[in-house]
Homo-oligomer: A and B are copies of this chain.
């Protein structure tokens, strides 16, 4: 069985529903990405509970000073997070502070985003942000699955680093195009959890991806 390439973006805050879904998809997804809203509602134990079923990536988009970024990463790790997403625009020291917390926590650095507002500042610094992310020692990079050209550019910039990509499904991207343009893992939310048959949907995506990565 090949490694799974789908990261479930679990943007629902009701823990019982989230846990049922996680249990149902166990073994068919690479990881579960959870956000800050779920933590406000459920506290850090939400991370630990989810980690029974899959690796958990905390999508906090940490964008704080180094000391605080480190504190956030440390707490995520204590609750059994596997990975954490941080913003690159707060600079190399802020990224590195998260990386330095522990080898056991994979840090993914965000160098591009999928919304309109990214055009103000973020789009102007993609290359520099990729560069300082590598220098800071991140495990992986977040780059948009619904912007194939940007994604392909980031792939060239970051060598063998793992790339995870949001913007798939309801947001317009498709997993095959993303994988072909350099994603290692595609982040999919509503397409899965709003499906009448989440497990069937994931299995179908897995089969489609397997056919192209062979």
Q: Which residues on A are within 8 Å of B, measured CB to CB?
A: 11, 13, 35-37, 39-44, 47, 60-66, 68, 71-72, 74-76, 79, 87, 89-95, 113-122, 125, 128-129, 132
Contacts and interface: CB of A to CB of B under 8 A. Distances in A.
Contacts of A61: 62-64
Contacts of A118: 90-91
A129 B66 CA distance: 21
Given A36-B36, A75-B37, A87-B87, A66 B115 contact: yes
Main secondary structure of the interface of A (DSSP, over half): helix
B44 A41 contact: yes
Contact of A41 (B63, B75, B92): B75
B91 A116 contact: yes
B72 A87 contact: no
A40 B43 CA distance: 5
Given A11-B71, A93-B115, A76 B120 contact: no
Contacts of A93: 115-117
22 contacts: A11-B71, A13-B75, A35-B64, A35-B72, A36-B39, A36-B60, A37-B74, A40-B43, A61-B62, A61-B63, A65-B114, A66-B117, A87-B87, A90-B113, A90-B115, A90-B117, A90-B118, A90-B122, A91-B115, A91-B116, A91-B118, A95-B117
Contact of A36 (B72, B87, B89, B115): B72
Given A66-B115, A91-B119, 12 more contacts: A13-B75, A36-B60, A40-B44, A61-B63, A65-B115, A66-B117, A89-B120, A90-B122, A91-B121, A93-B117, A121-B125, A121-B128
